[in-house]
């Protein structure tokens, strides 16, 4: 089978094409993620996978992307499109897209269900639930069970999705019909998007550079049921470093987005002299991201933000009549 992207340490930076019986697995890993986190490729190769950087020369989609920009950093949309083409060209291969799809969001809610039980043991219920926002499975996993429970436990509970300034699909994108892959062969769905050809800058949080938000999360945001905020890389790594010093755990760059929002919520509560129960998802460790933290510590991390013109250029094909 082929498994697509997922909003975590692994899937969000790659797409895979596999034989249904597990005899072969080919991975298309976003080029910028591969360069930033090469040991992830090593771990996959240790388990027998073939790993290609995307865009690659293995598919027409990849070759076309390279012709357009030989230095392309890649995107999850391109990796998805390459995996789809790769699977279509092989009789025994299968493709099952993930991350923003309904079944993946529901699967990830096991995290929130466990957190509900933990909060019950603590005798508390959160005033705000925070999750990093890639395509949506990370955010949905921690928040959806609490959204259900909040209807009776604490209707005032807030739900905060945290995305990078470099890929602000919710805070600066548009609510449109769009495809989940770069080549546009997947069915279009209604979502907050920056356009399926959008490529995020070279940010370290590979799991958050997806161009769109899950349809369920998008609909909730559109109807003001959840909130969204974005942060720059330096603020994120500052928060991750503070968390590592305080807790002895190095959070992944994706998780550090949620950490940053949790810190801000705590500071605001202290300034207002109000009790606030804050729950956030620590969705992964950063031991394979130490080079990113080293860049931050050495002052080399750059905050990159797409311009309004760049976003509108990417969205234009979706807004123009066909």
Count how many residues are written for the chain.
322
Whether 150 shows a pLDDT value over 50: the answer reads: yes
Question: Per mean pLDDT, which of 25-29, 61-65, 237-241, 281-285 is the most reliable?
Answer: 237-241
The whole-number pLDDT of residue 53 equals 92
Within 10 A of 219 (CB to CB), how many other CB atoms are there? Answer: 16
CA dist 54 → 33, 73, 146, 195, 317 (Å)? 10, 8, 37, 18, 23
Provide the pLDDT confidence category of residue 219 given band limits of 50, 70 and 90.
very high
Least confident stretch, 21-25, 185-189, 271-275: 21-25
- Mean pLDDT (the chain) is 89
Burial annotation 62-98 (CB, 10 A radius, 16+ → b, else e): beebbeeeeebbbbbbbbbbbbbbbbeeeeebebebb
The whole-number pLDDT of residue 12 equals 37
Whether 169 shows a pLDDT value over 50: the answer reads: yes
Whether 208 shows a pLDDT value over 60: the answer reads: yes
List domains and CATH numbers for the chain. Answer: 11-88 (3.40.50.1100), 102-319 (3.40.50.1100)
The whole-number pLDDT of residue 17 equals 54
Give the predicted TM-score (pTM) of the model.
0.88
CB 93 within 8 A of CB 2: yes
Provide the pLDDT confidence category of residue 218 given band limits of 50, 70 and 90.
very high
Q: What are the pLDDT digits (tens) for 3-59?
A: 333 334 444 345 555 555 555 688 888 898 888 888 888 988 998 888 999 999 999
The whole-number pLDDT of residue 207 equals 80
Q: What are the pLDDT digits (tens) for 77-95?
A: 888 889 889 888 888 777 7
Provide the pLDDT confidence category of residue 267 given band limits of 50, 70 and 90.
very high
């Amino acid at each position: 089978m082929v498994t697509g992207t997922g909003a975590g340490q692994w899937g969000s930076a790659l797409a895979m094409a596999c034989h249904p019986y597990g005899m072969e697995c080919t991975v298309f890993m976003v080029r910028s993620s591969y360069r930033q986190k090469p040991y992830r490729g090593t771990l996959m190769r240790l388990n027998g996978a073939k790993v290609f950087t995307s865009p690659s020369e293995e598919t027409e989609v990849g070759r076309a992307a390279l012709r357009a920009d030989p230095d392309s950093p890649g995107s999850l949309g391109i990796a998805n499109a390459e995996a789809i083409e790769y699977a279509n060209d092989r009789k025994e291969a299968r493709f099952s897209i993930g991350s923003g799809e309904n079944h993946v969001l529901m699967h990830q809610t096991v995290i929130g269900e466990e957190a509900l039980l933990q909060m019950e043991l603590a005798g508390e219920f959160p005033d705000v639930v925070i999750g990093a926002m890639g395509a949506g499975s990370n955010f949905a996993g921690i928040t959806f069970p609490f959204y259900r429970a909040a209807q009776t436990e604490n209707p005032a509970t807030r739900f905060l999705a945290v995305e990078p300034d470099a890929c602000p699909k919710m805070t600066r994108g548009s609510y449109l019909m769009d495809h989940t892959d770069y080549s546009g062969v997947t069915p279009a769905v209604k979502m907050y998007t920056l356009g399926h050809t959008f490529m995020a800058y070279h940010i370290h949080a590979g799991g958050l550079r997806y161009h769109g938000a899950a349809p369920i999360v998008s609909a909730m945001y559109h109807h003001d049921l959840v909130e969204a905020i974005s942060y720059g890389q330096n603020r994120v790594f500052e928060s991750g470093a503070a968390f590592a010093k305080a807790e002895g755990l190095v959070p992944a760059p994706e998780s550090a987005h949620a950490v940053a929002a949790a810190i801000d919520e705590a500071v605001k509560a202290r300034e207002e002299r109000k009790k606030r129960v804050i729950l956030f998802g620590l969705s992964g460790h950063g031991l394979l991201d130490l080079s990113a933290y080293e860049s931050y510590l050495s002052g080399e991390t750059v905050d990159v933000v797409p311009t309004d013109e760049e976003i509108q250029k990417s969205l234009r094909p979706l807004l123009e009549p066909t």
